[in-house]
């Protein structure tokens, strides 16, 4: 017996959009908060979506492939009344994969009596997924880090990068920043972290994780805990694990010039205040990791039209949407003399509020 949730937060800007996570710590309040986050994230980058989120309190690592499929299809059946290409479009999140999205799409299609690929995004390319979707969130983190570094006068050539959470988001952003000349000096996963001040090859670390299940014991690197990793001196820190990694307690010991939030909510409000007082800029989650939902939007559009784009087109359109949003947030924060997170929320909430005002209240 498992408990699952699907929350719709806002539909004022369009259909609801949001991932589904499978994790033992999923709770109703967490899913509610994440649904609200999605509303602001979609609004901030100008997508025609409201926010939603789903979750099942389960550890997918403890389930066989058959059990995972049965769990997924039953969950999809339970939320199928809330889903539709025009109403609510789920996507992957922590603990879910393109294969899980394929099972959800297939279950929904069987109920409808015809194939409905645009009911979910993050699917395998073979059944209507988009090129570039798997890498999209990490690519967005890289773009945000690159743009912030430029504005701060921080050269990426040789810049040291620390990444907590070397999953899909952390590994992709690490590899892309490495390609720009950065020195990835530490990465971690749920089992622990590795550190080499001279730099690590993130692709080799990823291959090692694929072989062993963890980055721990990667040759030529020292072991560090997730807690120690967050306090390593670096130019760019990318927390890409779960919520609340940096708190008011450990924020005074963070030694970086820039934080780019790969995960949702990796900083607590207390940490935000400490870091703002220390003049360490934080690129907020609803901006930094919006690449995933932007390319999910592209996948949805491609599915509705049955007209698909190349990976180069997808990546170009991602940058075209994310960069203006980034500079609008930076400008808002600068004009109002507020943290970047507050600048992002001012823009996002204002857009939703304005849409409500224009649409009116009915009945």
Full DSSP string of 126-145: GGT--TTHHHHHHHHHHHHH
Q: Which tokens hold the place of 318? A: 């991602």
**Gap between the Cα atoms of 175 and 167, Å rounded:** 12
Of 292, 273, 293, residue with least CA distance to 282: 273
Three-class DSSP category at 40: helix
Q: Are 272 and 282 in contact (CB under 8 A)?
A: yes
Q: Are 13 and 352 in contact (CB under 8 A)?
A: yes
Of 362, 352, 360, 363, residue with least CA distance to 10: 352
Of 265, 235, 232, 264, residue with least CA distance to 247: 265
Q: Residue ranges of the alpha helices (H) in 279-339?
A: 285-288, 291-305, 311-336
**Active-site residue identified among 17, 41, 53, 123:** 53
**Gap between the Cα atoms of 309 and 325, Å rounded:** 23
53 is annotated as an active-site residue: yes
Of 118, 101, 134, 93, residue with least CA distance to 308: 118
Length of the chain in residues, anyone?
363
Q: Which residue has 């699907």 as its token pair?
A: 6
Q: Are 351 and 13 in contact (CB under 8 A)?
A: yes
Three-class DSSP category at 166: coil
Return the C-alpha torsion angle 42, 46, 49, 51, nearest 10: 20
Active site residues: 53
């Amino acid at each position: 017996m498992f408990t699952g949730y699907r929350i719709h937060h806002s539909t004022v800007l369009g259909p609801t959009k949001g991932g589904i996570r499978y994790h033992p710590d999923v709770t109703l309040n967490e899913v509610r908060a994440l649904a609200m986050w999605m509303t602001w994230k979609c609004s901030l980058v100008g997508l025609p979506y409201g926010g939603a989120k789903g979750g099942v309190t389960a550890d997918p690592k403890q389930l066989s492939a058959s059990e995972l499929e049965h769990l997924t299809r039953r969950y999809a059946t339970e939320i199928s009344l809330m889903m539709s290409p025009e109403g609510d479009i789920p996507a992957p999140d922590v603990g879910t994969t393109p294969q899980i999205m394929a099972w959800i799409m297939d279950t929904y299609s069987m109920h409808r009596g015809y194939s409905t690929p645009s009911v979910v995004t993050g699917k395998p390319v073979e059944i209507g997924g988009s090129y570039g979707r798997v890498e999209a969130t990490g690519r967005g983190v890289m773009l945000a880090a690159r743009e912030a570094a430029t504005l701060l006068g921080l050269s990426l050539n040789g810049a040291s990068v620390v990444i907590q959470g070397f999953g899909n988001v952390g590994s992709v952003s690490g590899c892309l920043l490495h390609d720009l000349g950065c020195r990835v000096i530490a990465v971690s996963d749920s089992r622990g972290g590795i550190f080499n001040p001279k730099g690590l090859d993130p692709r080799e670390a990823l291959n090692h994780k694929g072989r062993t299940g963890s980055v721990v014991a990667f040759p030529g690197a020292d072991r560090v805990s997730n807690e120690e990793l967050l306090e390593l001196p670096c130019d760019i820190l990318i927390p890409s694990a779960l919520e609340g990694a940096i708190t008011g307690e450990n924020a005074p010991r963070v030694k970086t010039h820039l934080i780019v939030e790969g995960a949702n909510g990796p900083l607590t409000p207390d940490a935000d205040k400490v870091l703002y007082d220390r003049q360490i800029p934080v690129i907020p989650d609803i901006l930094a990791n919006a690449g995933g939902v932007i390319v999910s939007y592209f996948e949805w559009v491609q599915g509705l039209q049955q007209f698909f784009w190349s990976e180069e087109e997808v990546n170009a359109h991602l940058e075209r949407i994310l960069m203006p949003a980034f500079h609008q947030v930076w400008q808002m924060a600068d004009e109002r003399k507020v943290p970047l997170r507050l600048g992002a929320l001012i823009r996002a909430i204002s857009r939703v509020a304005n849409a409500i005002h224009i649409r009116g209240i009915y009945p």
